[in-house]
Amino acid sequence: MTDPGPIRCFLVALALLAFATCGPAVAQESPPTPPEDVGPPVPAEDKGAEPPPISSPTAPSTAPEVKQVAPAALPPLPNPSDPKLAARELFARKLEPARLPARAVGGYADGCLAGAVALPTEGPTWQVMRLSRNRNWGHPSLIRFLERYAAKATQAAHWPGLLIGDLSQPRGGPALSGHASHQVGLDVDVWLTPMKDHPLSREEREIFWATNFVAADGKEVDRKLWTAGQAAVIRQAALDPDVERIFVNAAIKKELCQKAGSDRSWLHKVRPWYRHQDHLHIRLRCPPGNPDCKPQPAPSSEEGCGKELDFWFTEGVLHPKPPSGPVRQLTMANLPAECRKVLNAP
């Protein structure tokens, strides 16, 4: 009789691969674990960055079928006033910004956004990806930053342009998938894959995947893929005075430390964080005139290339255990009271 063991293992592996590629049927990807609940301890200043996401824009084994390229309304909630309802369910159902003066309210991982402005889906030096997510909204200061940054970064990297990932939802707040932060319109993901030399169609923007620039062991960048262009794009973001911190994979931070040269003044803004093998996560400081924006402590002035970086290459970080227990979901009670006004505004 044929040993069923290998067959059983193959079927289990196939099922796991299908789940990882397609995700649950009810959402694009599973909700992330809140930063304070995930993995080994990290420097307090970096709390509120992205936890390890369940999925990534890095290419899967097969391209997904395009089913939706425009934001779609979600079904009505049976009891939207339920105090136990996850706030992400409410904010995800708002397809337009609140018609209020522009304000970032609360913290990067527990806040909302009034008066959001949309980043145009195409510009002279950028294209926005994953338009079906409707997450190209930001505080006006973020939109202004991206317009100037895209021009400078592409010139420095000699790229045709940048591919822009998620900013925030129209009213900020928690999202159904992908992020714990990005809630106040001051965070943006920028792919480390250069823009093509032609505009991508809406359909292509759903199935074109970012490149993983980290080697399989997680300790180095992939030498076959990494170029000076990726480093230039990160450095250019760090040079902008409105940028407070940038999150990248630790292997990318290590590469920047080794190749920075004599000007190392910008390295302290670049912070290692889980995943982020294919993009940089840029975070702006709270802009002037936004008293309800909750700032983070400024990043350390140390460049972060010594023992602090070594931590990220320990076994527990490179191969973290899966989170135990249920994922904590923010409710409206966990957000600033002003966020209810933002949510209910016309």
Alpha helix stretches (DSSP H) within the chain: 4-22, 87-91, 140-157, 202-207, 228-239, 250-259, 307-310, 315-318, 338-344
Cα 339 to Cα 61, 101, 206: the distances in Å are: 40, 13, 30
The band of 57, judged by pLDDT with boundaries at 50, 70 and 90, is: low
Average pLDDT over residues 55-79: 66
In the chain, what is the straight-line distance between the N-terminal and C-terminal CA atoms, in Å?
A: 69
Contacts (Cβ under 8 Å, ≥6 apart) of 231: 255, 256, 259
128-175 confidence digits (pLDDT tens)? 999 999 999 999 999 999 999 999 999 999 999 999 999 999 999 999
Residues 155 and 129 sit within 8 Å (Cβ to Cβ): no
The structural architecture, per CATH, of the domain 36-59+85-322 is 2-Layer Sandwich (3.30)
Largest CA distance in the chain: 75
> What pLDDT does residue 8 have?
45
Count, residues in the chain = 346
Q: What is the C-alpha to C-alpha distance for residues 291 and 26, in angstroms, rounded to an integer? A: 37
Say whether pLDDT at 222 is over 90.
yes
16-34 confidence digits (pLDDT tens)? 333 333 333 323 333 333 3
Return the SS3 of 236: helix
Give the DSSP H or E segment for 270.
strand 270-272
Say whether pTM exceeds 0.85. no
Cα 75 to Cα 98, 139, 176, 195, 202: the distances in Å are: 20, 27, 14, 35, 24
Q: Which residues sit opposite 270 in a β-bridge?
A: 246
